[in-house]
Amino acid sequence: MEFYTKLRDKDRALDDKIQLIRTNTHFIPNLHEMVVDFLVTELSQHPDIPTLWQMLRSSLDAHPITANIIRLVKKSNLINPVSVVFKQNNEDALENVARILDLTIGHYNKDSVLNSYSIYLNSATYPPINDIFIRFIRLNKFNKKSLSGFVLENIDKFITNYSFTSLLITQTDTIRSIQWASDMDDFLIYHLTQHYDKDLIEHFIRTSTSHHLISSLLQLNQSKAVPLSEDLLQHLTHQSIELRSPTILNALWTIEPDHMFAHIDASIRIGLADDVDRILQEKLLFTIITVYSNTRSLPTLTESLIGALSSNKHIHMHSTIDYALMNAYQIYTTSEQVEHLCNYFGDRLRGTYGIEPSIKKRKSEGNGKSVINPDVSFTATAAIAELFFMALPKLLTNVTAGVGDDLRTQVQKLAEDISPQYTISDASKEYRSVRLMRCLAINQIITLPQVFNAMIDAFEAAAKNDDDSLVSEYAQMAFFTLSHKVVDGDVARRFLDVSTSVALHSSKIGEKVLGCVVRHLYVLEHYARDEHLDAFIEFICRGEDIYTSSQAVAVEEILTSALFWELSRFRSRLTTHVESTLKSGDQRIQAHTLTLLLRFPRGSYTSKFVRNLAIDTAIALESVAEKVSTYITLRRLLLALIGDNAKVGAKNEEYAVYLATSSTWNTSGDEKALNELNKVSIQLLDMLARPIIRTDCAQLFKKLHKKFDKGVLSMMAASCVLEVYLAHHKPSQESEKSATMTTTTTTTTKDDNKYVYKLTQAMVNKLGSELVYHTTVANISALVSCLRMSMIRGGGAVDAKCLDIAKSVTLTRVHSTTPNAQVDSATSVLHFLSAGLVRNVEQIDVAAASWCIYHERASTEMKSVIGRGLAEVVVMFLGDNNNNDVDVVGNLWEVFHSHIREPTSPLLTALDGLRVVVKSCREGGNGRFIRRRLSGLLIDLANAAAVYKHLPTTLGGIIELLESIVHERAILLQSTDVGSILIALTNAVSASKGTVENEADSVKAQALYDRVNSTLLQLIRLRRDICASHAPSLALLLSGLIGLPLTLRPNLGGGAIRAHLAHRPSWLPSEMALNPKSLTRLLEGLTTKTVPLTTQHQQQVTSNSLKEAFARHAYIVLHTFARSATSPHSFYPQSTRHSLMAGLYALCECVDLHKEQEFMLSGITDDGARSVVKVLWKDYDEQRYVGLS
């Protein structure tokens, strides 16, 4: 009672009361109800104090909610303080309020809950609270009037939750009372799809001003096979034309084409207007072309298009519509219509040229006045005629021989009648005239000198007027003619005089003409003067940064054609130009030329003299270079020119020493550029040192040792040379050589080793002091090389000093607080190497633990860098035929495997480490090592998948490891291994308890589902021979996969939601719709013929599929699909069903056709499921005999 009195003492401060509760509740029992009573009373007066909310939450969480607690909550009406927190948007209290609300929301007045939710929607944002309110409203019935008021007031706040909003509108019947904004169209379509009502759809069609909504509603109405009334159809037609809406017109042409034929002219004018969205116009015109193609009425459409284009010179068709119309002419024009259209276009074009009296002009729709301008009429006719004549060659193959010859004669006569008139004043008319000439194929007329000269004049005039379209057309016509016909040489060179200057000009016109030149390079080879070639060569030799993107592509194509023996004249002059500039002595010009050589295509022809001259010039320029970018360019060039042809010579050895002692190894600047420079330098030094070390390396190492003593040889360069030496002088090789050497050879080898060991010892001495202060990748890599060298020198024994330095470095690095993935990766290699060389199992375990620490602290992006270090270790130890070395990787495998066998932290790191080991063993070619350990690992992975199937991240790591095993080592799998993989995948997709924690896990769900499908597909393709014996397990797994793309039906109660979740894995959100495309590919893989991976070369290769082996089990998957499709609480969305059809057809193909009736009837007792199967089989049976058109 004393405690209760102190709590009720009005003179005591609130902070003292809070302290009193914290001090006594842990020692005095039965104070729970007193504390709750005090807290709810205080919260009624002070709802803005987060501490009170936190204490109330702790108290309610720590004890069961009894009847007295419920009475206190009701009495205090705690929902009011909760609403105050929402109104103030008190973020510090929202988390605690969410938990309290979750525990007590069922004990408040329902209207007060709605009011509180309304306040929340208008003030605060905290998703867990929103979910609590939604769940409560779903599971309870409310007064219709109160709920209607809530919906009308707040619908714009929660409309993004479609299923919840649809439930409220259905319960309140407020759909006609809501003021629908434009951003609510998608929800309205969703709601009417779920609750179809013809009267409601007609109401919104008549009242809505949203074109997108009206179009979608029309499509929805069509999907239900409900015809539109005549009155509504007339209203829509008038409205769409008055509002100039291509969206509504497109829907009407799709649904009621017969009614819309009378409005073709108005529809086309809207589809070609300038003030309408282009994408919507294209959709409308595509639909109109499709309708007229299906009815074989393209001549009528042609007249309408020409009439619409002739009525306004400012409208035109886009290229995509041009292509669609030309394609329609090719496919859907009958033989009679071909002759009619030829005559129609011939008469109309002759009329526009004044050759014959013009045909009767088209009248406008509304009155009898002519609205056609002669020039516009020509442009419109030529635009459509061009498309028809482009389709004519294919159309002529569908008519009789006699008719085809007559039509060809008519076209040739038309071409001669309207030969190009290059003095036309109207540019648009001239442009259409040129395009029409190209389509009529009158190149034999253009080859005449007077006609070609006239075209050159017109080309030059168009270039001066900056008419890029017309210039492009003339250029294409001229270059095509020069490449296919014999033209007078002087005339051709005159054209090249004009076109070369235009092509090399940096403008839009220049880029288009240059593109024509690139497509017809043989014209330059055959007709061009030397001045023309020199002009192009000067253009090519410009700096790469001067070009536009189009010019850069053109230059690359010209170089490729010239240097691969296609253009001998061009190549000869280019080589002469390169040689002269390299000899010029001007460093700026030489640098430009070397940059040009770097852009030469790989494998292209370059003379030996020019290559050696370029190498000497690059080496000379490097001595005066200042910028890092210059060094990178020069060394890339040397790398490309020397290639794999590096030979032993004084010059190469001298440059190798110069490169190793260059100041660029220790320069400062941009880190990215320096890393690129070091990478190129190491590659070049490796290439130069390899042939020297392979023959006689004594002088090289003698010079390098002297340079190192003087302090000018960098540690990175010395390490690189040592790595080259180690690649050619392994311990086993050294022992074999020593047994068969003569006296002279022994003396030479000792001299070689003398200076190598001296350099190694000097590096060790320097590293002993440097690594303490400069733990860099270069220093650590150098220490690794010294360790390996000391082993060669000691005949298997390792230098103690190297080991002490390695121990110090690894110990310091593992405890470092500044993570650096590159350094950590190099340190892990050093740690494993030192542990492996001393053959200490405990040290190998410590190295593995250190690698796990590095992997854990690395960022997600840098974990692959840590993995590369482990891969280097595996390849290093498995590469040598030494049993003790193989134990290093074996112990490493055992360490990682133990974390999976008895799951302990860090499990994800262990999974990633095993994945790296599996992949690296493939590169090492050591399959026996993996085979001995694979079966046990797969069994433990199957168990781990069952234990951790509620954790998406851990499960993803398991699936990723299984995927690596299947992709990299499928040939090693045995029957038991395949069974373990199938069990693991089945555990991953089976039902489990838990909830998806956040949105990121929802994103992982699709990736995890796709990875399971791709792994199983790869297993079937590579090991079909084993999978055939696991058909029952495979069918059960596929049954689980085919049920996952189901989506929760809207407007369900809590029990139905729980029933739905009971059959799904916890990593998959309840309302998420998975994309089943990967599952479709997997099901199609059952019927795809493959060759087993174990087939020998001498065996007769026969490809086969799993269709026969899976025939008796495919019905299991199909029955699962049928039962899922008729589930009362979930369904397949339309897009999901459409994506699944190809895979379902593959399953039907697997079923034994002779047992079709047995398949149809057995195992299904539900009439709805039987109906689904029958419809599926009918569709499959129909599509089997449909060929591709």
Q: Is the pLDDT of residue 311 over 70?
A: yes
Percent of the chain beyond pLDDT 70? 84
**What letter would DSSP give residue 1100?**
P
Q: For residue 402, with 0-12 CB atoms within 10 Å meaning exposed, 13-18 middle and 19 or more buried, which class applies?
A: exposed
Helices (H), 696-742: 698-710, 715-728, 731-740
How many C-beta neighbours within 10 Å does residue 195 have? 14
Q: Is the pLDDT of residue 1035 over 90?
A: yes
Contact 1045, 1076 (CB under 8 A): yes
pLDDT in tens, 489-539: 888 888 899 999 888 888 888 888 888 888 888 888 888 888 888 888 888
Strands (E) located in 1117-1172 = 1130-1131
pLDDT in tens, 530-546: 888 888 888 888 766 67
pLDDT band of 366, cuts 50, 70, 90 = very low
Q: Is the pLDDT of residue 444 over 60?
A: no
Helices (H), 880-906: 883-901
Q: Is the pLDDT of residue 292 over 60?
A: yes
Total residues found in the chain within this entry: 1189
pLDDT band of 567, cuts 50, 70, 90 = confident
DSSP secondary structure string, 161-207?
Answer: SHHHHHHHHHHHT-TTTS---GGGHHHHHHHHHHS--HHHHHHHHHH
How far apart are alpha carbons 281 and 268 in whole angstroms? 9
Q: Is the pLDDT of residue 1001 over 80?
A: no
* 876-888 mean pLDDT: 60
How far apart are alpha carbons 158 and 162 in whole angstroms? 8
pLDDT reported for residue 730: 60
Residues pairing with 1104 in the sheet: 1090
* 215-233 mean pLDDT: 85
Structure token digits, residue 676 = 């690129």
Region at 1064 (left for phi over 0; alpha for psi -120 to 50; beta for the rest): beta
Q: Which residue has the tokens 């042939």?
A: 691
Lowest mean pLDDT among 423-427, 791-795, 1137-1141, 1161-1165: 423-427
Q: Is the pLDDT of residue 369 over 50?
A: no
Query: Which residues, other chains included, contact 600 with Cβ-Cβ below 8 Å and sequence gap of 6+?
Result: 559, 563, 606
pLDDT reported for residue 551: 80
User: Which residue from 839, 944, 850, 870 is spatially nearest to 902, judged by alpha carbons?
Assistant: 944
Residues pairing with 795 in the sheet: 797
How far apart are alpha carbons 605 and 612 in whole angstroms? 14
Question: In the 3-class helix/strand/coil scheme, how is 23-66 assigned residue by residue?
Answer: HHCCCCCCCHHHHHHHHHHHHHHCCCCHHHHHHHHHHHHHCCCC
pLDDT band of 354, cuts 50, 70, 90 = low
**What letter would DSSP give residue 904?**
-
Percent of the chain beyond pLDDT 90? 9
Contact 7, 42 (CB under 8 A): no
Which CA distances in Å does 677 have to 670, 671, 825? 11, 10, 21
Contact 788, 740 (CB under 8 A): no
Query: Which residues, other chains included, contact 426 with Cβ-Cβ below 8 Å and sequence gap of 6+?
Result: 375, 379
pLDDT band of 418, cuts 50, 70, 90 = low
pLDDT band of 553, cuts 50, 70, 90 = confident
Determine the Cα angle at 342 with ends 337 and 347, to 5°. Answer: 125
Count H helices and E strands in the chain, helices first.
63, 2
HSE-CB at 776 with a 13 A cutoff on CA atoms is 12
Q: Is the pLDDT of residue 995 over 60?
A: no
Q: Which is higher by pLDDT, 1124 or 443?
A: 1124
For the chain, domain boundaries: 1-140, 196-295, 296-441, 442-528, 536-615, 625-799, 816-925, 957-1189
pLDDT band of 427, cuts 50, 70, 90 = low
Mean pLDDT taken over the chain: 81
Q: Return the amino acid letter for 1021.
A: R
Q: Which is higher by pLDDT, 436 or 693?
A: 693
Alpha carbon 969 to chain centroid, angstroms: 26
pLDDT reported for residue 1080: 94
Contact 435, 473 (CB under 8 A): yes
pLDDT in tens, 933-970: 899 999 999 999 998 888 888 898 999 999 999 998 88
User: Which residue from 241, 384, 368, 375 is spatially nearest to 312, judged by alpha carbons?
Assistant: 375
Helix (H, G, I), strand (E, B) or coil at 983: helix
Q: Which residue has the tokens 């039509």?
A: 407
Q: Is the pLDDT of residue 376 over 80?
A: no
Structure token digits, residue 867 = 């993995």
Query: Which residues, other chains included, contact 658 with Cβ-Cβ below 8 Å and sequence gap of 6+?
Result: none
Q: Is the pLDDT of residue 1094 over 70?
A: no
pLDDT in tens, 629-663: 888 888 888 888 887 667 777 788 888 888 888 88
**Interaxial angle between packed helices 715-728 and 777-793, expressed in degrees from 0 to 180 and rounded to the nearest 10:** 40
Q: Is the pLDDT of residue 749 over 60?
A: no
Highest-pLDDT range among 8-17, 177-186, 922-931: 177-186
How far apart are alpha carbons 1070 and 1060 in whole angstroms? 8
Contact 1048, 1071 (CB under 8 A): yes
Q: Is the pLDDT of residue 45 over 50?
A: yes
How far apart are alpha carbons 870 and 213 in whole angstroms? 58
How many C-beta neighbours within 10 Å does residue 671 have? 8
Q: Is the pLDDT of residue 75 over 80?
A: yes
Q: Is the pLDDT of residue 885 over 70?
A: no
**What letter would DSSP give residue 1048?**
E
Determine the Cα angle at 429 with ends 424 and 435, to 5°. Answer: 110
pLDDT band of 554, cuts 50, 70, 90 = confident
Determine the Cα angle at 712 with ends 706 and 716, to 5°. Answer: 100
pLDDT reported for residue 1034: 94
Query: Which residues, other chains included, contact 586 with Cβ-Cβ below 8 Å and sequence gap of 6+?
Result: none
Strands (E) located in 1010-1117 = 1047-1048
CA torsion angle 258 260 264 266 (round to 10): 170
Q: Which is higher by pLDDT, 547 or 440?
A: 547
pLDDT reported for residue 358: 40
pLDDT band of 364, cuts 50, 70, 90 = very low
Contact 979, 935 (CB under 8 A): no
Contact 1074, 1045 (CB under 8 A): yes
pLDDT reported for residue 1159: 58
How far apart are alpha carbons 330 and 387 in whole angstroms? 10
- Report CA Rg, the chain: 40
pLDDT in tens, 583-628: 888 888 888 888 888 878 776 767 788 888 888 888 888 888 888 8
Contact 474, 459 (CB under 8 A): yes
pLDDT reported for residue 545: 66
pLDDT reported for residue 36: 81
pLDDT reported for residue 43: 84
How far apart are alpha carbons 105 and 841 in whole angstroms? 60
Q: Is the pLDDT of residue 796 over 80?
A: no
Q: Is the pLDDT of residue 1014 over 90?
A: yes
Lowest mean pLDDT among 337-346, 392-401, 776-785: 392-401
